[in-house]
Chains A and B, each alone.
Chain A
Amino acid sequence: MVVVTGLGLQSPHGEDAQAVFEALRRGESAVHEVFPGQLPKPAVAATVAFDESRWFTKLQLAGVDRVSQLAVAAADLAFRDAGAPAGLDPERVGVYVGCGMGGGAAIETAYLTGAAGGRVPPLTIPAFMPNAPAAHVAIRQGVKGPVLTYSVACASSAVAIGEALRAVQRGEVDLAMAGGSEALIVPGVVAAWQAMQTLAGFAPGEAARACRPFAADRSGFVLGEGAAFLVLESEAHARARGARSHARLLGYGLSSDATHLTKPDAAGQARALEAALRDAGLQPADVGYCNAHGTATKIGDVVEAEALAMVWGDALPQLRVSSTKAMHGHLLGAAGALEAVITILALQQQALPPNQHGGTVEPACPLNLVEPGDTAAPGLQAAVSSSFAFGGTNAVLAFGRA
């Protein structure tokens, strides 16, 4: 049995896990306008108020992109939350990080200065490389075991957490720091996302509620940035050192659609959901909450509802569902990790974040959505968090009450 003994966040709602969960429970959106007047269309995103000076001197920031800065901070907070155990064998500790893009700001600066005939900053490559966040965490924490980066688009950090689970189960490491980081809210990258036509439209003044998962009038997702980390270890290891567990990581399910580069596939998602439940030894009826992938795209939400129906069948009405992307945005490579933290907090608090900005529900999504104001979940014993990615990889994590 593997447990979660530490949580660390640098999220759009802040870094204090309890405060973040309470804000989500109240339905607060962290989504706001970004780069006014600079982009082809108005843009919104959820960003982190981050003070890098708490973890880096100016000297230490040389060649370190924001995505790595956030990762170091969140991983450090997770490790401290786990009691900052001393005496670990550094070769028996691993770092498993999900990241979709790597250093967005670094690569954007390089292209802009280069294209303008200026000189490309010399540390562009180490700042941009997608494995930099994991490397910086390892350097800061002195980790000499496996240090891996999983780049699987929106499923990156769910995969990272799942693979860390396997490494702990196999006895490869005694302790794993697993999570994700993403920081690509820079004009060029946002413009690229706008060009894909998957981002939500919004009326002036309506930025905060632009993302409306499972709503009839949904129009896409909003981008987010941030980092989130879990500390994982075996229950025995945790008990031996007197660590308290936030939750149990019961199972991990993975599948590949093999159908389309960006369109989701219900059968593929269902396979991942079933695999997670099987791995966790759970029946659908045992699961009280699903933190959905729920990007609020026209097609995505319907396909996800279909997949949930395929797996839960008659038990579907008892499964309460919400997508917290409405409030914190889509953190892409870090989405799985942030949403895992939220799912863990839900189990601890016996409360659920609402499916915010719902309005009129999409008829093709007959789900038991968590309503604002009706967030208590007494008796919640198990929950799943889904991440369904561009490229067709689907990752589902199953958590149980500690």
Chain B
Amino acid sequence: MSSLGELQQLIHKKYGIEPSQLDPDASMREHGIDSLALVEFLFEVEDTFKVSLESNPDIDTLAQLAKLIDELRAAQTA
């Protein structure tokens, strides 16, 4: 069960970016989600998905973030 869809919804809600505008394999930084916006976004991701990300995770694409969240959620239910 991929978190990608929920992530795309969250990005749309928070930043008004349509899923079609952000290729999950594209660098988020290159889409204007700079380090400050990313910090805030990850904070919200933690709240929304009830997971805890390590500080400064090495994440550049939405797909990478979705994979990380999937792993964390799987570990929670394991």
**What is A's interface to B at a CB cutoff of 8 Å?**
57-60, 62-63, 119, 121-123, 126
Binary contact readout B24-45 vs A (1 if CB under 8 angstroms, 0 otherwise): 0000000011001101110100
A residues in contact with B37, CB < 8 Å: 59, 62-63
Within 8 A of A (CB), among B1-36: 14-17, 32-33, 36
Number of B residues near A (Cβ < 8 Å) is 13
Nearest A residue to B33 via CB reads: A59
Nearest A residue to B16 via CB reads: A58
Find out whether the CB atom of A58 lies under 8 angstroms from the CB atom of B36: no
Find out whether the CB atom of A122 lies under 8 angstroms from the CB atom of B15: no
Contact of A57 with B36 at beta-carbon distance under 8 Å, contacts A119-B43, A121-B43, A122-B43 already known: no
Nearest A residue to B42 via CB reads: A122
Identify the interface centre among B32, B36, B39: most chain A CB within 10 Å of its CB.
B36
Which residue in A58, A119, A122 is a CB contact (below 8 Å) of B39? Answer: A122
CA distance A210 to B25 in the complex (A): 58
**What is B's interface to A at a CB cutoff of 8 Å?**
14-17, 32-33, 36-37, 39-41, 43, 47
Nearest B residue to A59 via CB reads: B15
CA distance A57 to B41 in the complex (A): 15
Find out whether the CB atom of A62 lies under 8 angstroms from the CB atom of B40: yes
Would you give the shortest CB distance from B7 to chain A, in whole angstroms? 15
- The 7 A-B residue pairs with the shortest CB-CB distance, nearest first, are A62-B37, A59-B15, A58-B15, A58-B16, A62-B40, A122-B39, A63-B36
CA distance A194 to B47 in the complex (A): 35
Nearest A residue to B38 via CB reads: A62
Would you give the shortest CB distance from A231 to chain B, in whole angstroms? 28
Nearest A residue to B11 via CB reads: A59
How many A-B contacts if CB must be within 8 Å?
Answer: 31
Find out whether the CB atom of A126 lies under 8 angstroms from the CB atom of B36: yes
A-B contact pairs, 14 of them (CB 8 A): A57-B15, A57-B16, A58-B14, A58-B16, A59-B15, A59-B17, A62-B36, A63-B37, A119-B47, A121-B40, A121-B43, A123-B36, A123-B39, A123-B40
CA distance A119 to B39 in the complex (A): 13
Would you give the shortest CB distance from B71 to chain A, in whole angstroms? 22
A residues in contact with B32, CB < 8 Å: 57, 59-60
CA distance A57 to B31 in the complex (A): 13
CA distance A145 to B74 in the complex (A): 51
CA distance A123 to B43 in the complex (A): 10
B residues in contact with A60, CB < 8 Å: 32
Nearest A residue to B12 via CB reads: A58
Nearest B residue to A120 via CB reads: B43
CA distance A59 to B34 in the complex (A): 9
Would you give the shortest CB distance from B34 to chain A, in whole angstroms? 8
Nearest A residue to B55 via CB reads: A122
Would you give the shortest CB distance from A56 to chain B, in whole angstroms? 11
Inter-chain pairs besides A57-B32, A59-B37, 18 sampled, C-beta below 8 Å? A57-B15, A58-B15, A58-B16, A59-B15, A59-B16, A59-B17, A59-B32, A59-B33, A60-B32, A62-B37, A63-B36, A63-B37, A63-B40, A122-B39, A122-B40, A122-B43, A123-B36, A126-B36
Would you give the shortest CB distance from B42 to chain A, in whole angstroms? 8
CA distance A159 to B53 in the complex (A): 45
Would you give the shortest CB distance from A221 to chain B, in whole angstroms? 36
A residues in contact with B41, CB < 8 Å: 62
Would you give the shortest CB distance from B29 to chain A, in whole angstroms? 12
Identify the interface centre among A59, A123, A126: most chain B CB within 10 Å of its CB.
A59
Identify the interface centre among A58, A62, A119: most chain B CB within 10 Å of its CB.
A62
CA distance A60 to B40 in the complex (A): 12
CA distance A59 to B17 in the complex (A): 9
B residues in contact with A126, CB < 8 Å: 36
B residues in contact with A62, CB < 8 Å: 36-37, 40-41
